[in-house]
Amino acid sequence: MKADTRILLVDDEQSVLNALHRFFRRSGYQVISCTSGRDGLTLLESSEPFQLVISDYRMPEMNGVEFLKAVRIRWPDTVRMVLSGFADTSAIISATNEGNIYKFIPKPWDEEFLLQSVQEAIEIHAANRRSKEQLQALSESIDCLDLLHTKNLNNQTITISAYHTLLDQMPVGLIGIDRNSEVVSMNERARLILGLSVAPLGESATSVLNGIYDAVLRHYIPKQENCIITVNEKQIRVLTKFLQEGKSDGVMLILVLLEEGG
């Protein structure tokens, strides 16, 4: 619902913030604003989550790209938009690539277009939240499946091929990586998400996974957190699960392809 949607506005011009406040409040959204990127980061740290951040591009101290890049890294679920009169193509490309911007809105803005863009951004946020919840539920299911697999293999009541058939029926991508950083399993969904013609079993995860493993290994495996990365212009949410007793036994990467623009 609109009343539950929180939007953070960041612009160094108070007159612009006042106009946006009036516009969004008429539309029923909760709006909080500030005049700098640093203040925006403080608000994001100290208050309830925001579904959407709209930032000006040209601001002193910290410009819109720098601000939204920090938002992307620390609050990846928050959808990010730029609202600016600075129509430099290189700036737009930089904002899109570094801040993973959903949309670039020119000033002066068209109210109908702005409202439609915000509504779409909120829908994307909701869809991504649902995918995150589903991912967590699937992660728990995978834990149960792994336990069942280990138990039944010990009892010789299930075959390896039957186990992989179950994995191929999962609605998310699954990649198993062993303690030597080699790909030991990959289901059909993961292969399709990554655009691979064959599953690269036995190959180095670092060399064949389009940078996914490096990014996850560097930032997320230590905490088993999830992250959003871009591969072949597609956004993918990745969750890590340690195999068996810990990282020394390898890791499972769980991939969910987000909706276009998410």
Enumerate the β-bridge partners of residue 106: 84
Is residue 115, in this structure, part of any structural domain at all?
no
Task: Output the domain CATH number for residue 32.
Answer: 3.40.50.2300
Boundary (domain end) residue, out of 109, 140, 163 = 109
- pTM across the whole model: 0.57
pLDDT of residue 10: 94
Q: Rounded to an integer, what distance in angstroms lies between the CA atom of residue 253 and that of residue 174?
A: 6
**Cis upstream peptide for 76 (omega within 30°):** no
Is residue 32, in this structure, part of any structural domain at all?
yes
Domain holding 141, by residue range, is 127-257
Is residue 81, in this structure, part of any structural domain at all?
yes
CB 217 within 8 A of CB 145: no
Per-residue pLDDT of the chain (262 residues; tens, 9 = 90+): 565 789 999 999 999 999 999 998 888 888 999 999 999 999 999 888 899 999 988 888 888 888 988 998 888 888 999 887 766 566 666 666 666 788 888 888 888 999 999 988 888 888 777 766 666 666 655 555 555 445 444 444 445 555 566 677 777 888 888 888 888 888 888 888 888 888 888 888 888 776 677 766 665 555 555 677 777 777 788 877 776 554 556 788 888 887 644 4
How many domains in the chain? 2
- Summarize pLDDT for 43-73 with one digit per residue, the tens: 999 888 899 999 988 888 888 888 988 998 8
Is residue 262, in this structure, part of any structural domain at all?
no
Say if residue 17 is in the same domain as residue 49: yes
Task: Output the domain CATH number for residue 217.
Answer: 3.30.450.20
pLDDT of residue 262: 41
Q: What is the DSSP letter of 262?
A: -
Nearest alpha-carbon partner for 256 in 237, 228, 234: 237
